[in-house]
Amino acid sequence: MMKTLATIAIFSSLALAGCSKDNKTATKQDTAAIKKETKRADSHAPANAEPGSHEDWCGEHSVPESQCTRCNPGLVAAFKATGDWCDEHGLPESQCLKCNPELKIVRPPPSEPAKPQE
Ligand SMILES: [Zn+2]
Ligand SMILES: [Zn+2]
């Protein structure tokens, strides 16, 4: 019984490690972008923002900071590789409002720690 539990724990921590590896790459680029634009840092995600979270948001371009090719040009190749790229507008197709006027990129709501309600 104990052995099974331990195996499960190892597997899930491996899965987590896989995820955080990807996150780290994006975070590194975020840090570089933020350093370059310290003046507008408040409209950009902190370097430790979790991709997909409320904090992971580029206020300047209204997309998740971890997917903002305008702040992180290093992401462009990854979008092109998946075919999610609009050559005409130099944006990921999934972020191109000119080609997809109906597109709405919504910032995830903040995940607040459970607060005691009155
Ligand atoms: Zn941006
Ligand atoms: Zn386009």
CA 77 to ligand 1 center in whole angstroms: 16
Residue 91 pairs in a beta bridge with: 86
| Average pLDDT of the chain, as a whole number | 79
Q: 115 in helix, strand or coil?
A: coil
What spacing in Å lies between the alpha carbon of 40 and ligand 1's midpoint? 10
Q: How far apart are CA 17 and CA 39, in angstroms?
A: 33
What is the model's pTM?
0.58
Instruction: Determine the distance separating the centroid of ligand 2 and the alpha carbon of 94, expressed in angstroms.
Output: 9
Tens-digit pLDDT profile for residues 51-105 = 999 999 999 999 999 999 999 999 999 999 999 999 999 999 999 999 999 999 9
Q: Give residue-wise pLDDT tens across range 34-55.
A: 555 444 456 899 989 999 999 9
**Residue 9: pLDDT band by 50, 70, 90 thresholds?**
low
26 pLDDT exceeds 90? no
**What average pLDDT score do residues 18-33 get?**
55
- Cα–ligand 1 centroid distance for 55 (angstroms): 13
pLDDT at position 38 is: 47
Compute, in angstroms, the gap from residue 103 CA to the centroid of ligand 1: 17
Name the closest ligand to CA 68.
1
Q: Cα of 57 to ligand 2 centre, how many Å?
A: 21
